[in-house]
Amino acid sequence: MNILNVVKVVVGPLATNCYIVWCESTRESCIIDPGFEGEVIIERVEDLDLHVTTLLCTHAHFDHIGAASFIRDRFEAKLCIHEADTPYLDTYSRMAEDFGFNRVDTPSPDILLKDGVILRIGESKLKIIHTPGHTPGSCSIISEGRVFTGDTLFSGSTGRWDLPGGSFYYLKLSLKRLMMLPTDTLILPGHGPYTTIWRERMYNPLIRCL
């Protein structure tokens, strides 16, 4: 049976969780949220002897796309961002300066994501679900009992909705959708530790108020 492996690399001043996922059978790989420290991410990929074909951003904030152009050029991979975030690409890149960092490159996506799209990584599949609220194009990614939630859902918390394009109304709808996943689904968020759907149902104060 094929296995989708996952390694987390914490990068940048905002401690963004970048995930390297790969198909065990083919060594084909996808990098989720390449936010900063492109050389660090590339070194880990090369240590694992992987073939990167896809860069997948859960949303277009600078701390999740900052190294995307650099890594794409290195591996000639395809960059995927949800279509609803594309009008904000320049805005989100400039936000780095508002947070006191250097402005990041604004990458142009190769593939525009939509709800329900299936991406193949070797013999494995990643399913995209549109979970807006933190940004208009925020996505979560489901695969093999796991969900990568970006900045939509964290352990004990949720993403902000007060930045450009954010919406508390849509964030609540997205959280309700995520809570429909099986209770043992492992949550791999954009920042912080792993958690589960069951734990967030029980202990996340905003989830309990939905």
The rounded distance, in Å, linking the Cα atoms of 142 and 58 is 12
* pTM, to two decimals: 0.96
Task: Name the residue ranges covered by the structural domains of the chain.
Answer: 4-208
pLDDT digit string (tens) for 19-48? 999 999 999 999 999 999 999 999 999 999
pLDDT at 2: 65
If phi over 0 gives left and psi between -120 and 50 gives alpha, with beta otherwise, what is residue 39? alpha
pLDDT digit string (tens) for 69-124? 999 999 999 999 999 999 998 888 888 888 888 878 778 899 999 999 999 999 99
Domain 4-208, CATH class in plain words: alpha beta
The rounded distance, in Å, linking the Cα atoms of 79 and 32 is 10
The rounded distance, in Å, linking the Cα atoms of 14 and 63 is 7
**Residue whose tokens read 């109304």:** 169
| Residue 200, token pair as written in the block | 């967030």
- The per-residue DSSP string of 51-117 comes to EEEEEE-SS--HHHHTTHHHHHHHHTPEEEEEGGGGGGHHHHHHHHHHTTSPPPP-PPPSEEE-TT-
